[in-house]
Structure 1
Amino acid sequence: MANLFNGYCYDSVDVAAETELATEPRFTADGVYSPYMAGNYTIETADMTYIFTPLVGSQQYVTVTRVYPQCAEVGYQNNYTGLTIDDSIELSWMVALVWITAWAIKQMRYR
């Protein structure tokens, strides 16, 4: 079995956790979370430690149990573009608006 992280299934939980450790820091309204260390692996989870740097105050370590769901095979699960369903819907509406605009311009030319 493989484990899912960011739409890609990795060989195991430790590989998925190592991939998360290599990701960029996450900025929030309270401060910055940087992946620091992972350990205590199970079939679907790892204890992930982050360095939290608040906007005001000193750094602190935050450990959470991170779940990496199991999947059937290694590789991308949805598509190779990285588009979510919301992105696809938004793009579809943009294409539809372009066609409607082109049709409207064509109608105005023949009047």
Structure 2
Amino acid sequence: LKQRLEARFGNHHHVGDIRGRGLFLGIEFVRDRTTKEPFDPAQKLNARIKSEGMARGLMCYPMPGTIDGRRGDHVVLAPPYIIDDSHVDEIVDKLGQAVDAAIAGLSA
């Protein structure tokens, strides 16, 4: 799962980090990848990603306050240990769609 997330999001302009162990992984989202500047907390990007994910049949755990308890957005993935490669592909695909839609919605 981590390898596929890194392939999909490793160069994404708004992904600051992908971290975790095994199937428990977090993806940090930033306004600017170079400076690691976070999104405005009022935008609630993590909650938007969760909502977009749920609309696509993906459950992820939105987590605000990555930086200081207030600023910073990340989502956590914790799929069951019985997933297979097709499920990993589905998770990464749906998360990609959710992230793209949530970020596009910030400027709408």
TM-score (norm 1): 0.31
Larger radius of gyration: 1
Q: Greater share of helix residues, 1 or 2? A: 2
TM-score (norm 2): 0.31
Q: Greater share of strand residues, 1 or 2? A: 1
